[in-house]
Structure 1
């Protein structure tokens, strides 16, 4: 399956979320957009290049599931969630 073919229904099934609640759909819609953007930003690939690498699709599923399972921002043992840290680091313009 190509990344461009993934739907929110696919992500919901992977997460074992079978609710038809519009709020849940909104969360998965946001996850889909955010995860595609994360993969694109991390790899530097274009949409077409991402589609040619079908192994990236599982990354999309796992990232979305991680975001859904951990919807709260927490810091444990002085360690920030690595996904959050990575996203923030990618967009940081004030590095010393």
Structure 2
């Protein structure tokens, strides 16, 4: 599945939340847009290139779930989520 195909409904199901709650849907609508933007900024990839990397989809889902669960992107002890960081680093073209 490509990132462009991911829907709010799929993220809600992944998070095991109430899909009928309009507030949950609204939150995941915002989170989905934020996750896509974060992945674009972090990797430096275009939307077209992001869609060629299917493993980025799980990074998006984990990131979205964590954003929802914690309402922020959790950084513990100055460490970014290892799964998300590893996948994004594999595709990052804007490393210094």
Common fold: TM-score over 0.5: yes
Distance between the aligned counterparts of 1:34 and 1:6, measured in 2? 13
Structure 2 residue aligned with 1:5: 5
Unaligned 5+ residue runs, structure 2? 82-96
Q: How many residues are matched?
A: 81
Q: Structure 1: where are the runs of 5+ without partners?
A: 84-96
Rg (Cα) greater in structure: 1
Q: 1:75 to 1:51 in 2, by over 3 A?
A: closer
CA distance in 2: counterparts of 1:22 and 1:55, whole angstroms: 29
Query: Compared with structure 1, are the counterparts of its residues 12 and 29 closer, same or farther at alpha carbon in structure 2 (3 Å cutoff)?
Result: same
Report the TM-score, using the length of structure 2 for normalisation.
Answer: 0.74
TM-score (normalised: structure 1):
0.74
Distance 1:45 1:65, change over 3 A: same
Tell me if structure 2 keeps the 8 A contact 1:3–1:50.
yes
Moved over 3 A (4+): 72-76, 79-83
Q: CA RMSD in A?
A: 2.3
